[in-house]
């Protein structure tokens, strides 16, 4: 079983929809949680970064961490075609200067 | 903004060749990383470095080596390329243990 599980999708939603992306994990030592967006043929771009539990909001994006359930989420409000990409969750126990463990990514398609 | 630059976007090499992938960051980051990304497997850590001339093995170091002679530059070396090393290679860097990793745009390497 993988340490981090992420549904690969693809997930297809209409423009303007609220999108929910999720990861589950098994290592209770994880404390640092990140979401990256990756467009085709590009490197991952950091979207959200949280430490420990709780919510964090940045514009149309909200990240949630529930350590008791070992579950993290990324919500995208008012989704746009430009949000079409692969979304990767990543996490670490010992901080971001050491190993990150990644999910395999969820491919999102926002249609007009 | 952090800039992580990988010298080649696409590279085609033959089996048995020695291959060098170069990565440069312009933000004086101490920590640098090499990952490979494969469909269904996500990003896997090959090697990382926390200081000049220092290196640590990641999850899949076999068949690879690294060099860090200057703080801004981290090189990945495939000693004798094999077809199973065909992949997308991503370089990342971070300053501190509580700052997220920033990625380059990757090198898509094909070994024929």
Residue of A96, A102, A105 lying closest to B98 (CB–CB): A96
Q: What is the pLDDT of residue B70?
A: 95
Q: What is the pLDDT of residue B96?
A: 79
pLDDT tens digit string along B4-21? 999 899 999 999 999 999
Residues from chain A contacting residue B41 (CB–CB below 8 Å): 104
Residues from chain B contacting residue A63 (CB–CB below 8 Å): none
Side-chain-side CA neighbours of B29 within 13 Å: the count stands at 31
A8/B103 Cβ within 8 A: no
d(CA B2, CA A75): 25
B94/A104 Cβ within 8 A: no
Give A38's contacts (C-beta < 8 A, 6+ positions apart). Answer: A44, A45, A85, A86, A87, A88, A105
Q: Which of A80, A95, A78, A76 is nearest to A30 (CA)?
A: A95
Q: Is B38 left (phi over 0), alpha (psi -120 to 50) or beta?
A: beta
Q: Are A76 and A83 in contact (CB under 8 A)?
A: yes
pLDDT tens digit string along B65-99? 999 999 999 999 999 999 999 999 999 999 877 78
Q: Which two tokens stand for residue A88?
A: 């990767």
pLDDT tens digit string along A60-75? 999 999 999 999 999 9
d(CA A70, CA A62): 17
Q: What is the pLDDT of residue A96?
A: 62
| Residues of B (62-81) whose Cβ lies below 8 Å from A | none
Residue of A34, A43, A102 lying closest to B105 (CB–CB): A43
A97/B50 Cβ within 8 A: yes
Closest chain B residue to A91, measured at CA:
B100
Q: Which two tokens stand for residue B2?
A: 């952090």
Q: What is the pLDDT of residue A43?
A: 94
d(CA A69, CA B74): 38
Give A14's contacts (C-beta < 8 A, 6+ positions apart). Answer: A110, A111, A112
A95/B42 Cβ within 8 A: no
Residues from chain A contacting residue B4 (CB–CB below 8 Å): 43
d(CA A65, CA A101): 16
B40/A96 Cβ within 8 A: no
Closest chain A residue to B43, measured at CA:
A102
| pLDDT band at residue A30 using 50, 70 and 90 as cut-offs | very high
B104/A43 Cβ within 8 A: yes
């Amino acid at each position: 079983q993988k340490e981090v599980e992420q549904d690969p999708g693809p997930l297809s939603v209409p423009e303007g929809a609220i999108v929910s992306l999720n990861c589950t994990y098994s290592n209770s030592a994880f404390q640092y949680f990140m979401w990256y967006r990756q467009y085709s043929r590009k490197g991952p771009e950091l979207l959200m970064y949280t430490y420990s539990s709780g919510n964090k909001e940045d514009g149309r994006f909200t990240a949630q961490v529930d350590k008791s359930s070992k579950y993290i989420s990324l919500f995208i409000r008012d989704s746009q075609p430009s949000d079409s990409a692969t979304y990767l969750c990543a996490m670490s126990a010992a901080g971001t200067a050491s190993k990150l463990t990644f999910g395999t990514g969820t491919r999102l398609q926002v249609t007009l | 903004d952090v800039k992580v630059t990988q010298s080649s976007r696409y590279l085609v090499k033959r089996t048995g060749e020695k291959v060098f992938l170069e990565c440069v960051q312009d933000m004086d980051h101490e920590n640098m990383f090499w990952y490979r990304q494969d469909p269904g497997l996500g990003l896997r850590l090959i090697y990382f470095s926390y200081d000049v001339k220092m290196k640590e093995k990641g999850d899949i170091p076999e068949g690879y080596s690294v060099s860090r002679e200057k703080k801004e530059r981290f090189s990945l070396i495939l000693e004798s390329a094999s077809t199973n090393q065909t992949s997308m290679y991503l370089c990342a860097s971070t300053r501190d243990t509580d700052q997220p990793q920033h990625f380059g745009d990757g090198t898509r390497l094909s070994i024929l």
